[in-house]
Structure 1
Amino acid sequence: MAINLQKGQTINLRKNDQGDNAYDLSQVTIGLGWDVRKSGGFFGKLFGSAPEYDLDAIAFLLDKNGKVANMGTTLQRQNGKNIVLYQSDVIYFNSMKHPSGNIWLTGDNRTGEGDGDDEQIIVQLDRLPQRFEKIVFVVSIYQGNSNRQHFGMIENAFIRAVDAKGKEITKFSLSGDAGMNGMCSMVFAEAYRHEGDWKFRALGEPHRTDNFIDVLVPYTYK
């Protein structure tokens, strides 16, 4: 049975709530979902339309010092816009698969419409190189500040972990509230090694910035 986590709560990803080694971590899906709060007022009810919200899922792979060791390269593009952090230990929309091949982002959902996961990060935890001790999962609203969008406008936000056999291991739900007003990024959760197993901790740490690079800075070597 999946465990619904509270903020700050930690569970062992491999063991279920009965203590049995039931979960298959050969491939774990970290799914993120959200709904945009419907507009109020006459026009909102009349047209029933919701603005486009582009929430991006990001993962930081950290070493034993809690830092991102590989910052990758800068990819030169023909249109003149460079891509930074390419083939690095940061998985995001411009570098969707880790060089190890053991963690990748499946795609980019720009609306949050539909049931189930809106974005997914796939991790082969049992094959992830030993040098990685922790994975931090972040969600940012792309251009949230300029579009005046924030997590206080989002409902039913969640992050969950599903094992290789499709069993939901755990879920952490975080609905919009007054404390999320003006917050455009969120450190949702982290997975980390502990005595040969992987643990998962719900965090729910909000940030005002809409640029995940700002969230990344404390995890980098100076």
Structure 2
Amino acid sequence: MAARPMARGSNVELTREIPSLTGVVLGVRFASSESVLMDNLVVATLLCDARSRVLSDRHVVFFNQLVEPDLSVAQLERVVGTDTEQVEVDLAGVPADVARIVVVAYINEALGQRRTLGQLREASVRVLDLRDSSELVRSENLAPSLRAETGLVLGELYRHTTGWKFKVVGQGYANGFEGMAADYGVPL
């Protein structure tokens, strides 16, 4: 059964509601009739400290670096189901200094190609239980509000006093990965 869509800015206390939850899969789905756009769309996962700053360049998980140093967050090479990309997170294995796991997407070389995220029909993120792939959370379709953006923060999994929470973000960036890198302290 699919979860009810969550709006931008809403969050859910995952481990408080499901105390036995030990791992999740963050699934990202995009749809567009523009194949060039889809071929140049990159999903990255940023492991951040309590100040929302990436720990190091080794803590950015994407197609060129499928796992972070502690092996607790990994982008899957083969996706299960209808997601475009999937990232597996071992909640207990996430290092204590990681406070946020932020899922972003951007268009690789967007300015030269004149592509924008406004060409997407669908952009969403969801959280699956790693044990049985049941859908726990999914965002609303974030695509309708996108226009000239070339980068997007989809959602974030973050530590809270009660355990792990997930928030739908949906923040677009007109300057793509460079803008997100500046905000999250990603070394370029």
TM-score range with shorter-chain normalisation? 0.7 to 0.9
The corresponding residue for 2:60 is 90
Partner SS state of residue 166, structure 1: coil
Q: 1:146 to 1:108 in 2, by over 3 A?
A: farther
The corresponding residue for 1:68 is 54
Confirm whether residue 106 of structure 1 aligns to residue 76 of structure 2: yes
| Cα-to-partner distance string for 1:63-105 (whole Å, 9 max, x where unaligned) | 12322232xxxxxxxxxxxxxx3xx111122211101011011
Q: Which has the larger radius of gyration?
A: 1
Q: 1:91 to 1:221 in 2, by over 3 A?
A: closer
Aligned CA RMSD, in angstroms, stands at 2.5
The corresponding residue for 1:45 is none
Q: Give the alignment of 1:104-143 within 5 angstroms.
A: 104-107=74-77, 116-143=82-109
Q: Amino acid of the residue matched to residue 12 of structure 2? A: I
* C-alpha separation in 1, matches of 2:30 and 2:183: 27
Q: 1:193 to 1:104 in 2, by over 3 A?
A: same
Q: Give the alignment of 1:70-219 within 5 angstroms.
A: 70=56, 85=57, 88-107=58-77, 116-164=82-130, 165-177=132-144, 179-210=145-176, 212-219=177-184
Partner SS state of residue 102, structure 2: strand
* C-alpha separation in 1, matches of 2:27 and 2:166: 13
Unaligned runs of at least 5 residues, structure 2: none
Mapped contact 2:103–2:154 kept (Cα < 8 A)? yes
* C-alpha separation in 2, matches of 1:151 and 1:63: 28
How far the C-alpha of 1:55 sits from its partner, in A, is 1.4
* C-alpha separation in 2, matches of 1:140 and 1:100: 25
Unaligned runs of at least 5 residues, structure 1: 39-49, 71-84, 110-114
Partner SS state of residue 214, structure 1: helix
Q: Percent identity?
A: 22
Partner SS state of residue 57, structure 1: strand
Q: 1:55 to 1:23 in 2, by over 3 A?
A: farther
